[in-house]
Amino acid sequence: MRPVSETGELTLDIRGATALITIDHPRKRNAMTTPMWSAWPALMEQVVADPDIRVVVLTGAAGHFCAGADISELDTILDNDRPTLAHEAIARCPKPTIAAINGSCVGGGVLMAGACDMRIAGLSSRFGVPPANLGLVYPPIPLERLVRLIGPAATKYLVFTAELIGGERARHIGFVDELLPDDVVLHRALALADDIAKRSQLSIQATKDLVDRMVDRTLTDERVDAWMAQVAGSPDMAEGVAAFLERRRSHFTWNGAGLAG
């Protein structure tokens, strides 16, 4: 049996074309410690650099996603930008990311799940944004991402009340994409990842980049042209058309990790 880390850890399990990252600190409902926050950027760099990995799934150990920051380390966490760097590492991953959520998804857990492209949650899931219980103000970058995802009114409600909401409410406000029985959440996320991994990664990564830049208002003609040049130089379109005409499954081969910048 693998020993339980006293300070928590992030574990990486490669399953075919999917990287499964597990937030593992079950003694504190997977609350994030300073070493755990610090581990995210390098871990995501490893995932991005591996051309065989096409999709990333984030989950939590022992029935919870993440209860946010470890309050016992709050002074240390507030004294650095590791949480923001962690959220940004997840959000800036050019490959599609899926959060598989059960149990507690609170504070930094909400922000990490919100940094993913899709969220699948279990019926037991509970979501909350509690800085008003602690006299804190969240950093603007991950907070802005939450506003873009669920809107200013829902964000204010969660912060002002600091209350926990269930999965049904989370789905209603647009935070959760699918709400399922707890025991099938991870299975569904991995199956969805496997399905996405079979599609054209050029199409998927280009769309992720373009949509994110549209939302950020940073999309330029030059960026669009760069992606169209990728299409022109890739065999994916010819393969997709051929597979459609021949009534067979496509075998896409583009495995770049997006465009720099």
Q: What is the 3-state secondary structure (H, E, C) of 16-32?
A: CCEEEEEEECHHHCCCE
pLDDT at 182: 98
Query: Hunting for tokens 């997840």 — which residue is that?
Result: 90
Question: pLDDT tens digit string along 106-151?
Answer: 999 999 999 999 999 999 999 999 999 989 888 898 899 999 999 9
Tokens at residue 151, please? 């809107």
Among 162, 166, 183, which Cα is nearest to 125's?
Answer: 166
Among 48, 147, 46, 24, which Cα is nearest to 96's?
Answer: 48
Tell me what the mean pLDDT of segment 43-59 comes to: 97
Confidence of residue 97 (pLDDT cuts 50, 70, 90): very high
**What percent of the chain stands above pLDDT 70?**
95
Q: If you average pLDDT over every residue of the chain, what do you get?
A: 93
- Alpha-carbon distance 220 to 190, whole Å? 34
Q: Is the separation of the CB atoms in 131 and 92 below 8 Å?
A: no
Q: Which domains, from first to last, does the chain contain?
A: 9-197 (3.90.226.10), 201-245 (no CATH)
- Alpha-carbon distance 59 to 65, whole Å? 6
Question: pLDDT tens digit string along 152-172?
Answer: 999 999 999 999 999 999 999
